[in-house]
Structure 1
Amino acid sequence: MNPSWRKPAGAFAIVALIVTWCVLIASFSGTIGGWPILVQLVFYVITGVVWIMPLKPLLLWMETGRWRVPEPD
């Protein structure tokens, strides 16, 4: 069995996604720092979870080579 190139490529994409997301959110820290603490908490909780959404199709692609689960016949 030959190893797939999709797994290292997918791992790189995951790391790139995390770094990009962190830089994007951190670039707003000056503005967000002026918000009330509870609003900041809600913002950071939501943005801390949102980055996970693209991972499901990416992980599926890494395993199967498809972006979506095949429709049952």
Structure 2
Amino acid sequence: MAMISFRPDERTERELRELTAGRDRSTVLREIIHEAYVAQQYAQTREDAERLRNDEADRAELARIAAEMGDADAW
């Protein structure tokens, strides 16, 4: 397991003290990193969805597939 060290500024140190009140600092840092990772993944997914929503070739392919499948009520 890698050891990570950082030099927090005064604001970050104050915020970290509040976040870790009564808790293990390493656990809190792991949670913060995990939350940031999940937020980044959601942001990337939103960007990808927006890009695909505006991709004319992709939309045309979806329309072609829908037409090929026929009426959805038949399923």
TM-score interval for Structure 1 and Structure 2 normalised by the shorter chain: 0.3 to 0.5
From the CA coordinates, give the structure whose radius of gyration is larger: 2
* TM-score of the aligned structures, taking structure 2 as reference length: 0.38
Structure number with the bigger relative contact order (C-alpha 8 A, sep ≥ 6) is 1
Higher helix share: 2
* TM-score of the aligned structures, taking structure 1 as reference length: 0.38
